[in-house]
């Protein structure tokens, strides 16, 4: 299902975008706002980006990806940004981006309206964060006025609308430091802002006969794997060797017993790069004189050391660990292949699929549980 989007006419949006691009080039800020033969772009340091292109007539397309907002991969269920999109979009560019989860939004203009796929209520795709300064005349003037007097910004934008931009417009706006007028005018010409110039236009594309479409969001894919882990039995493998690292961990827990009676509990998850713990019946006690997180850091070191000591190149390393100590003894439970019932599942946080894949790849095939196939990124896609 599609929905209309309230955006300015493509020609006006292009003029504002090109004006911002030429101004940024004039002060040496290349790449933030840009113009090339494929259209206009904006790139942020965090990896977020947007592209805007004009086609023949009044058709246009605005697309991109914001690193914090994407209904395509993070909404439940995922919203395919290309569902219902017209045949003339630049599919050769868009489809590969969508397959790599690098396409957070696609908005197209046709027959006098902007359209996109409908998202779940309250979801933001980050488009306004990326294109915001070009979406209104006031927004563009505010952005330009950061570099010089507002009257000069108004004259520059008015000249851009009439395709009459000259070097004087940049000189009036950009007083200190002196602007690179040649670079500014080259960008303005490329954007169709000077007499005799025209904005670049791309050719209509062609919809592919088949494409990969995400059917599971990142969260849904995670929960599919986690549910399979909870249903998985433990495979038969030799007991780990006796190590000094276990004695050290047990001694530390006994010393941290919350009632000073040696009774202490540890629930932990660990893989090659991540560690987390949950409180058991008698979690290790902090001490008033310690800095914050001192005990957690030491616990992390001890658990990682034990995991390394007990690892085996054939059957791998455990993922979950449960230790219950008393004054005279200890009970240890390790889970290599399954999510134990004593590890709380909040439906949001759990082992990262990439980390699990790394762990499974390090084992011999006979010691890999049945849910390993679900880690394949292809699990989240289906043909359309």
Name the DSSP class of 378.
Answer: G
Percent of the chain at pLDDT > 70 equals 97
Q: At residue 76, does pLDDT exceed 70?
A: no
Q: Higher confidence at residue 56 or residue 194? A: 194
Q: Are 225 and 353 in contact, with CB atoms under 8 Å apart?
A: yes
**Tokens found for residue 137:** 């005349």
Instruction: State the average pLDDT for the chain.
Output: 93
Residue-level pLDDT at 382: 61
Q: Higher confidence at residue 347 or residue 115? A: 115
Q: Which bin fits 49, alpha (ψ -120 to 50), beta or left (φ > 0)? A: beta
In angstroms, the Cα distances linking 297 to 65, 245, 282, 302, 303 are 36, 16, 18, 9, 10
Sign of the Cα pseudo-torsion (282, 288, 293, 298, in order): negative
**Spatial CA neighbour of 214 closest among 347, 103, 54, 68:** 103
**Spatial CA neighbour of 103 closest among 69, 72, 61:** 72
Report d(CA 145, CA 151) in Å as an integer: 9
Q: What is the DSSP track for 48-116?
A: -EEEEEE-STT-EEEEEEBTTB-TTTTSSS---TTTT--TTS-HHHHHHHHHTT---EEEEEETTEEEE
- The answer to whether the peptide bond before residue 177 is cis (omega within 30 degrees of 0) is yes
Report d(CA 52, CA 131) in Å as an integer: 9
Give the pTM: 0.73
Instruction: For residue range 22-37, list pLDDT tens digits in order.
Output: 999 999 998 899 999 9
Which residues have CB under 8 Å from 99's CB, separation 6+? Answer: 211, 212, 381
Tell me the β-bridge partners of 116: 3
Instruction: For residue range 276-318, list pLDDT tens digits in order.
Output: 999 999 999 988 888 888 899 999 999 999 999 999 999 999 9
Q: Are 82 and 94 in contact, with CB atoms under 8 Å apart?
A: yes
pLDDT category of residue 74 using cuts at 50, 70 and 90: low
- Give all strands of the β-sheet with 39-43 in edge-to-edge order: 2-5, 113-117, 105-110, 60-65, 49-54, 39-43, 33-36
Alpha helices in the chain (DSSP H): 10-26, 91-99, 127-135, 137-145, 150-161, 167-173, 181-190, 218-231, 244-255, 294-310, 353-361
Which of 40-44, 113-117, 327-331, 380-384 is the least confident region?
380-384
Q: Are 120 and 75 in contact, with CB atoms under 8 Å apart?
A: yes
Percent of the chain at pLDDT > 90 equals 80
Report d(CA 336, CA 360) in Å as an integer: 10
Report d(CA 33, CA 43) in Å as an integer: 7
Longest CA pairwise span in the chain (Å): 90
Residue-level pLDDT at 384: 46
Report d(CA 93, CA 91) in Å as an integer: 5
Q: Are 54 and 60 in contact, with CB atoms under 8 Å apart?
A: yes
């Amino acid at each position: 299902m599609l929905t209309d989007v309230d955006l300015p006419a493509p020609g006006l949006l292009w003029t504002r975008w090109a004006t911002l691009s030429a101004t940024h080039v004039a002060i040496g800020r290349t790449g933030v706002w840009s113009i090339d033969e494929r259209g206009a772009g904006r790139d942020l340091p965090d990896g977020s980006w947007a592209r805007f292109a004009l086609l023949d007539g009044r058709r246009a397309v605005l697309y991109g990806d914001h690193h914090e907002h994407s209904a395509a991969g993070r909404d439940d269920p995922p919203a395919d940004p290309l569902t219902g999109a017209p045949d003339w979009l630049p599919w050769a560019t868009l489809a590969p981006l969508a397959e790599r989860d690098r396409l957070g939004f696609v908005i197209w203009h046709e027959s006098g309206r902007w359209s996109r796929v409908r998202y779940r209520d309250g979801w933001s795709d980050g488009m306004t964060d990326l294109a915001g300064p070009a979406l209104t005349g006031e927004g563009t003037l505010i952005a330009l006025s950061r570099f010089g007097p507002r009257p000069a910004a108004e004259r520059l934008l008015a000249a851009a609308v009439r395709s009459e931009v000259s070097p004087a417009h940049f000189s009036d706006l950009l007083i200190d430091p002196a602007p690179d007028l040649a670079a500014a005018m080259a960008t303005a010409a490329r954007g169709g802002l000077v007499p005799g110039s025209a904005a670049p236009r791309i050719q209509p594309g062609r919809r592919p006969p088949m494409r990969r479409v995400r059917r599971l969001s990142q969260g849904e894919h995670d929960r599919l794997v986690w549910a399979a882990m909870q249903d998985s039995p433990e495979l038969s493998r030799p007991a780990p060797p006796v190590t000094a690292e276990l004695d050290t961990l047990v001694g530390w827990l006994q010393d941290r017993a919350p009632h000073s009676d040696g009774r202490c509990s540890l629930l932990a998850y660990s893989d090659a790069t991540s560690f987390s713990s949950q409180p058991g019946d008698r979690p290790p006690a902090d001490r008033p004189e310690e800095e914050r997180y001192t005990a957690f850091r030491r616990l992390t070191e001890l658990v990682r050391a034990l995991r390394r000591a007990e690892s085996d190149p054939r059957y791998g390393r455990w993922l979950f660990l449960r230790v219950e100590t008393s004054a005279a003894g200890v009970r240890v439970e390790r889970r290599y292949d399954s999510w134990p019932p004593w590890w709380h599942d909040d439906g949001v946080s759990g082992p990262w699929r990439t980390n699990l894949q790394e762990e499974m790849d390090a084992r011999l095939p006979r010691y890999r549980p049945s849910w390993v196939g679900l880690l394949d990124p292809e699990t989240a896609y289906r043909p359309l």
